[in-house]
Amino acid sequence: MSKECKTKCKDKKHRTSIGGQAVIEGVMMKGPQKLATAVRKPDGEIVVEEKPLGKVRKNWFFKIPIIRGCVNFFDSMITGVQSLMYSAKFFDVDDEGNQVEEEPGKFEKWLNKKLGSEKATSIVIYFSVVISLIFSVGLFIMLPAIIGDFLKNYIENKLILTATEGAVRIGIFLIYIALVSQMKDIKRVFMYHGAEHKSIHCYESGEELTVENVRKHSRLHPRCGTSFLLIVMVISIIVFFFIPNENMLIRLALRLALLPVVAGISYEIIKFAGRHDNWFTAIISAPGKWFQYITTKEPDDSQIEVAITSLKAVMPENAGEDKW
């Protein structure tokens, strides 16, 4: 088979827009119409929660390039927290392994009384997202900026200074993930992450979704959120270069304001890379795939089964509806 033919065959391979994330003893998948979270309970049973996607995703305005990336970024954070909270509730167990109801705190009781349990849960979820954003901004934006402000006394060239600060940001991110990956529970989450990728690969190849078929596929995927985060950090180096660096507070404020733009541009790059197989997209995808050797682990058959269950729940009825 010629090299040209191989390239064309690769381009004809189905690329799905279905994606997701690993949760506690489970996998969340997001399809074109709905979201599903499959979790293996302590007793071995697999439970699935399905939710229709909000109308925001179907609005034409939120399909505009760059804007859709910003929306997708924040939407992923919210749905991610929701799925994590859903999976966590199955693991409040006593010494005998029986599920127990955790007694709500005073603040949670007050929220339930004033707003009702459903609205109270939504507030907790949005609060968790805000806290996560504050932590991320502090660790990956403010800390590198403070280090960059210190280095400004020794590096006069703005391009070198911006690149150095970006390298510090990426370094902090890599160290953070490497440390977190040593936790026992996180290792299992990373195994489910690998199961998610394998099942997507199997589905895109057109094979039947069985444990045997899924197992043989790669745990690395070019359209993973890990790749997105690394591209965000690289794009931020380019965008932040155009921000004046005289005043520390103004610099921080402008960087925060431009974060949605950075996320939007990064999303479009991932979108482009996911639609093509060539040397350029291979270079774009390579760092993220290398990093997935840390954020994914080889799953066992029981974890693959959970990923398959979640994926099947969101697969569209009409072929091609989930085209990337």
pLDDT, averaged per 10 consecutive residues of the chain (324 residues), comes to 44 81 96 95 95 75 87 88 90 56 53 56 71 88 92 91 94 92 91 98 96 97 87 92 85 91 93 85 88 95 98 90 85
Helix segments in the chain, DSSP class H: 3-12, 67-88, 106-115, 117-137, 143-151, 158-180, 184-204, 211-215, 225-240, 248-275, 279-295, 301-314
Place of tokens 């749905």: 79
Q: For 125, how many CA atoms within 13 A lie in the half-sphere containing its CB?
A: 19
In DSSP terms, which residues pair with 34 in a beta bridge?
52
Residues 322 and 316 sit within 8 Å (Cβ to Cβ): yes
Closest CA to 305 of 191, 220, 183, 204: 191
3 state DSSP class of 63: helix
Calculated CA dihedral for residues 106, 107, 111, 117, nearest 10 degrees: -70
Closest CA to 285 of 227, 202, 243, 241: 227
Q: What is the pTM of this model?
A: 0.85
Output the CA–CA distances (angstroms, integers) from residue 237 to 73, 138, 170, 188, 259, in the order listed: 19, 17, 10, 33, 11
Picking from 225, 215, 214, 195, the residue whose alpha carbon sits closest to that of residue 289 is 225
DSSP letter (8 states) at residue 315: -
Query: Token pair of 126, please?
Result: 């949005």
Q: What is the helix (H) or strand (E) element at residue 50, kind and residue range?
A: strand 46-52
Q: What is the pLDDT of residue 96?
A: 53
- Model pLDDT for residues 30-74, shown as the tens digit of each residue: 999 999 999 999 999 999 999 998 766 667 788 889 999 988 888
Contacting residues for 26 by C-beta, under 8 A, at least 6 apart: 37, 38, 39, 40, 83, 87, 192, 306, 310
Which tokens hold the place of 227?
Answer: 């790749």
Q: Compute the chain's Rg from CA coordinates.
A: 21
Q: What is the largest CA-CA distance in the chain?
A: 69
Residue 319 CA from chain centroid, whole number: 25
Say which DSSP state 144 is in.
H
Report residue 318 as tokens.
Answer: 């009409």
pLDDT tens by residue, 73-94: 888 888 988 899 899 888 865 4
HEC readout, 216-271: CCCCCCCCCHHHHHHHHHHHHHHHHCCCCCCCHHHHHHHHHHHHHHHHHHHHHHHH
Backbone angles phi, psi at 80, to 5 degrees: -65, -45
